[in-house]
Amino acid sequence: MVRSDAAPMKSRPPRIARGGWLDALRFIVGALIILYHFREASPVPLPQLHPVFDRGYLLTDFFIIDSGYVLARIYGDRLAAGQASLRAYARQRLLRVIPAHLVVSLILVVLVGGAALAGIAPSNPRWFDWSQLPAQVLLLQAWGVPGGQGWNAPTWTLSALIACYLLLPWICRALWRWPPIAVVIGATLLVVGADLAASLWLGDPIYRLPMRYGVLRALPLFLLGVAAAFYGSRVYVASRLAGAIGVGAAIALVILQAFGAFSLLSLGLMTVIIWAAGAVSVRRPSRLIEHLALMSFSMFLTNEVTRIVWFGLLDALGQDALSSGVRWALWSIGFIGAFAAAAVFRYGFDRPVQSWLNPSRVRLAAADRNAPATPRASGAVVAAEHAG
């Protein structure tokens, strides 16, 4: 059952809410990103088992599309109508990312610097070139600025997304005047066109552009998520139908990945999955899924540091001399430890700091949880917590 924006209120698309499929997807993909970063450290490198383990770029692209979807669902109407403070919006987005990034960067610098003072060299010294650090700490590595290689390398995604965050108000003002289906078609054609242009002029497809072109890679994918959000907020699809579409897209994605990358088609299927997850009403929100999703930002920021420390320690202790079974056990401990470290960072630093920086979020969260109506997560609360 599909209805336009003119449908009765009871058939309007549901607001996105915490504790549902959208949150579950965020945690699942975050866990797969950790697996991707740990793939080469296993006794048998995981890509030797199946090439799908070398396609982590699709997981990164998922988060970029998801960021566009979530933020447009939360802010889109107000930004398009000029009803949101651009200063408050920019402040909230930047403060959500920068404090946690700076602290994780400092932790890594202290660990590497302390090891160097103790005479312990890292297993891969080329990934800890001090000249590369400034661009990464300043989150400029995706803007074409030299540097940013190594260290906590995945943060290039945050660098690229900051540009997308700051452009979102003007994106919404430009797109919200068009029919939803036209916006979806336009965003799809933009991704295809950007892919052709990137392959022709830069030598890589849009979904795998290197770090220095991070903004060029992220913007078309972010727009794809925004388009899905605009369509999702305007066109009603019954929850059961949306769920069936999402499951069908997920099955198709798994089947495709079993035979090859099919990257552009995979991007489209991931967008459908994200849209479907947001179109399914959250009738029984799960507090566990909510907390796991809220931890995904910390998982993204800290897993590389955990990997560097754990496997650096094992290399120093001579793990190559151990049996395969012992090495698999140690690898598993490190993999699980990445989740534990993320939880410690989330509840020991990130959550308290965000509560201090955005005290209104705490009051809104309490009000939402005491409200009888669902979905219970207000836009402001979801926005304050989302990594992007």
How high is the pLDDT of residue 135? 96
Mean pLDDT of 200-226: 96
- Nearest Cα neighbor of 157 from 296, 306, 6, 10 is 296
How high is the pLDDT of residue 375? 37
Helices 287-294 and 296-316 cross at an angle (nearest 10°) of 60
Give Cβ neighbours of residue 259 (< 8 Å, ≥ 6 apart).
Answer: none
How high is the pLDDT of residue 388? 42
Mean pLDDT of 310-323: 89
How high is the pLDDT of residue 265? 97
pLDDT at 387 over 80: no
Question: d(Cα 342, Cα 301) in Å, to the nearest integer?
Answer: 8
pLDDT in tens, 321-364: 899 999 999 999 999 999 999 999 999 999 999 999 887 554 44
Question: d(Cα 296, Cα 122) in Å, to the nearest integer?
Answer: 27
Question: d(Cα 300, Cα 249) in Å, to the nearest integer?
Answer: 25
Question: d(Cα 170, Cα 152) in Å, to the nearest integer?
Answer: 31
Q: Specify the DSSP class assigned to residue 346.
A: I
Q: What is the full DSSP assignment across 192-231? A: HHHHHHHHHHTSS-GGG--GGGHHHHHHHHHHHHHHHHHH
In the chain, the amino acid numbered 105 is S
Torsion angle defined by CA atoms of residues 108, 113, 115 and 121, in that order, rounded to the nearest 10 degrees: 100
How high is the pLDDT of residue 4? 45
Mean pLDDT of 280-288: 92
- Nearest Cα neighbor of 304 from 345, 257, 263, 267 is 345
Does this model's pTM top 0.85?
Answer: yes
Ordered alpha helix ranges (H), 138-213? 156-175, 180-201
pLDDT in tens, 245-273: 999 999 999 999 999 999 999 999 999 99
How high is the pLDDT of residue 225? 98
Task: Point out the least confidently predicted range of 169-183, 197-211, 225-239, 306-320.
Answer: 306-320
Collapsing DSSP states into helix, strand and coil, what is residue 20? coil
Q: What tokens appear for 265 in the block? A: 């088609």
**How high does pLDDT run on average in the chain?**
89
| Pairing, β 2-3 against β 236-237 | antiparallel
Question: d(Cα 319, Cα 331) in Å, to the nearest integer?
Answer: 10
How high is the pLDDT of residue 10? 54
How high is the pLDDT of residue 145? 93
Mean pLDDT of 57-80: 96
pLDDT at 378 over 80: no
